[in-house]
Amino acid sequence: MYRLPSGPNSMSTKSVNPPLPGSTNTSMKAPVLALKRKTSSPAVVPT
């Protein structure tokens, strides 16, 4: 997947992350999708 470099490189990648809709977006969307699936599952079960 996406490996975070250790050391001073991590600082440069952090500054590059905001403008780049990829590394941070995927890592942020992953838990969000999991939460949406969890919330949608119980909502669908009763109905």
Asked if residues 29 and 20 have their Cβ atoms less than 8 Å apart, the reply is no
pTM of whole model > 0.75? no
* 17-43 mean pLDDT: 56
Tell me the HSE value of 28 on the side-chain side, using a 13 A CA sphere: 8
Task: Kindly report the average pLDDT of the chain as a whole number.
Answer: 54
Is a pLDDT exceeding 60 seen at residue 38?
Answer: yes
Q: Given a cut of 50, is residue 13 above it in pLDDT?
A: no
DSSP 20: S
Q: What is the DSSP letter of 7?
A: S
- 4-21: average pLDDT: 50
Confidence label for 16 from pLDDT (cuts 50, 70 and 90): very low
